[in-house]
Chain A
């Protein structure tokens, strides 16, 4: 497999390097303005927190044309200030290798996992090349639990604006938590720490060249770690501020990849989540300090109009996905004036369950199904934003916690409606 992923030149460099203990991976694609800062933060973090451990920084680039590779080469650490803190026993190596296959994060991670396997690294931290808020402490928080406490997966825990990350807050986090019983607040955060054990396990998995290897890659890693009983924790990293060059400007395409991946993983791990009720917290490391957050603008009118049009025009599509009581609830909500518009938690959760079931049963084309969720999701965001308009971040977090509990309460409905696998049917009869 390594012949496919790594070039001979890279393998030569790796064999010359020998074994390393820590790897910091930075997947990139046209991140010249920010990657230098990320590399410097990584060097500083490794020198400060792991001076006695042999480390390697790997930038896996997807064919950038804006000078990203040059920016990595030119990134110089202010050694005076670092040296005043500690001295490394091993030099921090930088290695730049382009990855091949799908030009996205999935391919980059595959390259990084393979390098971790070849170098026998104990821990790997992956950070985005577009980060502006990254600090040297992030590396202690992402690598420390793996190196010192035998954790296999360290998910990030960010402080975010109350309306930021609405797909995470309304679908991905509550559903993943209810399904697999582990409270990982940012399951698609982007940054993470991982043990070689889990990285090697993920390398054996098929699907690296599919949709899951784009936006779905983060939820796939998180879900695999939780569902297969790897030791999972979270680290508080503060605020996540990154370049506004988000490639996912197409919302329905984003939902297809993220929510489609969550639904797809439900099929892979249905033998796990069927037997889980309730949820347990994942240990949280780091001090949850307060940070200033970027404001998030919301166009409530546009979202509501999208929802109302969908309930009117997509009714034949929804009839094949959503059960009658839920559909009636959606229609009733669409008739409300803007000032009173609200979707209850119970209705939203039941709708998501119906979409998951419809996806599994293939009631219509799967991409059509998830794309048709887009306006309903916008309706939910509009309802949520209207109700939480004057609430503090803590109150909004309580609101999300309530939503999660509804997901957990309605899980038996999902279990009962989910068709049994043929093997299970035989044993049941």
Chain B
């Protein structure tokens, strides 16, 4: 009877207690890592923010046009602060993943492995978005200034369209890099783009035939010399 009591009740209870103790230590380890990550993240954010502010990083971002985006979207109070927040987020994320890894369960390990395999794609997509935003801004401004200098009435529209299409291509490229429903995105983009062009063509054909006629004539009809050339010698 005593042997039965020992084997059937006490041993499983002891095993359960040992397993609970082991899991509790892993859990405490995970919580400690997350707490450490939170503290280190906050310290890193403060250091990066102050160093970048001292190095006039905000002014550089303003010149590149990033500062305006940060300000308008309300992402952070300044570009330096945003950089600090990004580093803080990365540290906390790393600590969280390390904590999950410390749990030692196959599910947690699988999650961590998959995250690290996906990380390069995430960073590449982020880079594509940043470069795309800068290129769209630069090209938009180039088109705007050139169109105003050429006295084209729709200068702002042209610049806006340039920015829109560059950003649209950028977003498609970034989503493609992330592997999010590639086919759906490409088909959606093609339908959207085709739809816009078709709508514009129908609108022009039905509602603005005279305007289209005048526009084409002004573009392709040979102009008289005095219309084309600036008669002044500026230098």
Contact = CB atoms under 8 A, between A and B. Distances in A.
Partners in one complex: yes
Interface residues of B, number: 20
Interface string B76-95: 00000000000000000000
Contacts, number: 73
Given A374-B149, A375-B148, A364 B63 contact: yes
A252 B153 CA distance: 18
B15 interface: no
Contact of B144 (A163, A166, A314): A314
B141 A168 contact: no
Given A251-B230, A362-B63, A375-B149, A317 B235 contact: no
A309 B157 CA distance: 13
B151 A163 contact: no
Interface in A279-328: 296-299, 302, 305-306, 309-310, 313-314, 317
Contact of A309 (B146, B151, B232): B151
B231 interface: yes
A371 B145 contact: yes
A252 B235 contact: no
Nearest to A171: B234
Nearest to A166: B234
A249 B148 contact: no
Interface in B146-186: 146, 148-149, 151, 153, 155-156
A164 B146 CA distance: 25
Contacts of A296: 231-233
Question: Which of B138, B156, B231, B234 has most chain A Cβ within 10 Å?
Answer: B234
Interface of B is mostly: helix
A314 B232 contact: no
A173 B185 CA distance: 57
B149 A371 contact: yes
A317 B145 contact: yes
A205 interface: no
A299 B231 contact: yes
Interface in A244-260: 246, 248-249, 251-252, 254, 258
Given A166-B234, A363-B63, 17 more contacts: A163-B232, A165-B235, A166-B232, A167-B235, A168-B235, A248-B234, A248-B235, A249-B229, A297-B231, A298-B232, A306-B148, A309-B148, A313-B155, A314-B145, A314-B148, A364-B63, A372-B145
21 contacts: A164-B233, A166-B232, A166-B234, A246-B235, A248-B234, A296-B233, A297-B232, A302-B151, A306-B148, A309-B148, A309-B153, A313-B148, A313-B156, A317-B144, A364-B63, A365-B138, A365-B141, A371-B146, A371-B149, A374-B149, A375-B148
Interface of B: 63, 138, 141-142, 144-146, 148-149, 151, 153, 155-156, 229-235
